[in-house]
Amino acid sequence: MDTNNIKWEELSFDYIKTDKRYIARWKDGKWDNGSLVEDNKIAISEASTGLHYGQQCFEGLKAYRTKEDKIQLFRPDRNSSRLNDSCRRVLMPEVPEEMFIDACKQVIKANERFVPPYGTGATLYLRPFVIGVGDNLGVKPAPEFLFIIFCVPVGPYFKGGMAPVNFMLSDYDRAAPAGTGAAKVGGNYAGSMMPHQVAVDRGFADCIYLDPTTHTKIEEVGAANFFGITKDNKFVTPSSASILPSITKYSLLHVAKEYLGMETEERDCLVDNLDEFVEAGACGTAAVITPIGGIEVKGSLHVFHSETEVGPVTKKLYDTLTGIQFGEVEGPEGWIVLVD
């Protein structure tokens, strides 16, 4: 593929085969050294646990090109530790942090021509995953595992600039109270495709999942975490054992407190008390922040700041965090890892 013809700003979140991917195999109790390969297909046993029992997990993080033409990763240590949390939850071997970050760097360097230019808003998305493979029939951990990272250039989430979108509440649960909601395992996403489609068919961007025990508290906004800004300028985000701990969310909590001087709270966000928020948003690696225009509750749309305009605090949070990611704003110690 000739990268000179890529219109970086117009790229969406679609698969493009890049030059090289990293693959390591776990066998007899240890990972091999791993290597870069050209082939984007993997041959695995038809009896792999990853295919039948969902014994797998994945991550998503981005590499950014800076104004000085350096390439940097944003908090890859957090993706590494979340991957290992997910691995433990589905009885897979952990990937040492050093191996994880080194593999990310190898993949970026081997695909450097796919790292979008600074100023386009586009990034190189990395997709690390671990999957149980090998001959196995019963519901038990696989005899072997693969750890793979591939990468795809992706465009800015909002093409014409950030804009609010509306959401509906889902009648379906994304996770069980003590289930796998806090792990980034594929099964959580298989179960979300139908509720997502229901929301899209009704004209919403996606659905909001409530807590699986009482159905009164906001948990996740599609595949992103929720936050709200209160009338007295607090950054509030739900706390629950069944939410995926978003790295963007924890970064925004820090940015709100340390860069914008706001108070922050992790606590219940009741669907019956949305009036407490003057702005609301969804946060995750893909879009960083998706401003929430309104949420449909009991047949009517509860609008926060505006259905068309982005709220001022949401904008500041977005600008500061993306500024750190693209190297325009100095980040807290350890957040930025240079790929050199």
Q: Which chain residues interact with ligand PLP by CB under 6 A?
A: 60, 220, 223-225, 244, 246-249, 284-285
Smallest gap from residue 102 Cβ to ligand PLP (A): 21
Smallest gap from residue 32 Cβ to ligand PLP (A): 28
Burial of residue 314, with CB atoms counted within 10 A of its CB: 0-12 exposed, 13-18 middle, 19 or more buried: buried
Q: Decide whether 142 or 321 has the Cβ nearer to ligand PLP.
A: 321
From CA 18, how far away is CA 124, in angstroms rounded? 10
**Cβ count within 10 A of residue 329:** 14
From CA 87, how far away is CA 130, in angstroms rounded? 8
Smallest gap from residue 49 Cβ to ligand PLP (A): 22
Smallest gap from residue 231 Cβ to ligand PLP (A): 26
Q: CB within 8 A of 50, min separation 6: which ones?
A: 44, 56, 131, 132, 133, 142
Smallest gap from residue 120 Cβ to ligand PLP (A): 21
Q: Decide whether 92 or 321 has the Cβ nearer to ligand PLP.
A: 321
Please, what sign has the CA dihedral across residues 56, 75, 322, 122?
Answer: negative
Q: Decide whether 54 or 284 has the Cβ nearer to ligand PLP.
A: 284
Q: Decide whether 142 or 168 has the Cβ nearer to ligand PLP.
A: 168
Q: Decide whether 84 or 225 has the Cβ nearer to ligand PLP.
A: 225
Instruction: Indicate the length of the chain as a whole number.
Output: 340
Are 217 and 237 in contact by the 8 Å Cβ rule? The answer is no
Strand pairing category for 234-237 and 263-266: parallel
Q: Decide whether 70 or 127 has the Cβ nearer to ligand PLP.
A: 127
Q: CB within 8 A of 170, min separation 6: which ones?
A: 195, 198, 199, 207, 208, 209, 210
Q: Decide whether 21 or 196 has the Cβ nearer to ligand PLP.
A: 196
Smallest gap from residue 270 Cβ to ligand PLP (A): 20
Smallest gap from residue 144 Cβ to ligand PLP (A): 26
